[in-house]
Structure 1
Amino acid sequence: MKRVTGIGGIFFKAKDPAGLGAWYGRHLGLDVTGWGGALFRWGGAGSEAGITVWSPFAQDTRYMEPGTASFMINYRVADLDALLAALRSEGCNVLDRTEESEQGRFGWVVDPEGNKIELWQPAPGM
Structure 2
Amino acid sequence: MQRVTGIGGIFFKSADPKRLGAWYRQHLGVPVGDWGGALFKWGGPESTPGMTLWCPFEQDTAYMAPSPAPFMISFRVADLDNLLSTLRSEGCQVLEETEVSEHGKFGWVMDPDGNKVELWEPPAGQ
TM-score (ref. length: structure 2): 0.99
What is the percentage of aligned positions where both structures have the same residue? 66
Gaps of 5+ in 2: none
Q: Tell me, in whole angstroms, the C-alpha distance in 2 between the residues paired with 1:80 and 1:110.
A: 15
SS at match of 2:99: strand
Gaps of 5+ in 1: none
Partner of 2:42: 42
Deviation beyond 2 Å, 4+ runs, structure 1: none
Question: Which whole-Å CA distance do the structure 2 matches of 1:72 and 1:20 have between them?
Answer: 17
Counterpart of 1:49 in 2: which secondary structure? strand
The Cα of 1:125 is off from its aligned counterpart by: 2.3
Aligned length: 126
Aligned equivalents of 2:40 and 2:125: distance in 1? 14
Structure 1 position 67 matched with structure 2 position 34: no
1:72-87 equivalences in 2 (<5 Å): 72-87=72-87
Residue 107 of structure 1 is matched in structure 2 by 107
Deviations 1:17-45 (A, max 9, x none): 00000000000001111110001100011
> What is the alpha-carbon distance in structure 2 between the residues aligned to residue 47 and residue 112 of structure 1?
32
| Alpha-carbon distance between aligned partners in 2 of 1:100 and 1:47, rounded to the nearest angstrom | 25
Q: CA deviation at 1:115?
A: 0.0
Which structure 2 residues correspond to residues 17-28 of structure 1 after superposition, within 5 A? 17-28=17-28
TM-score (normalised: structure 1): 0.99
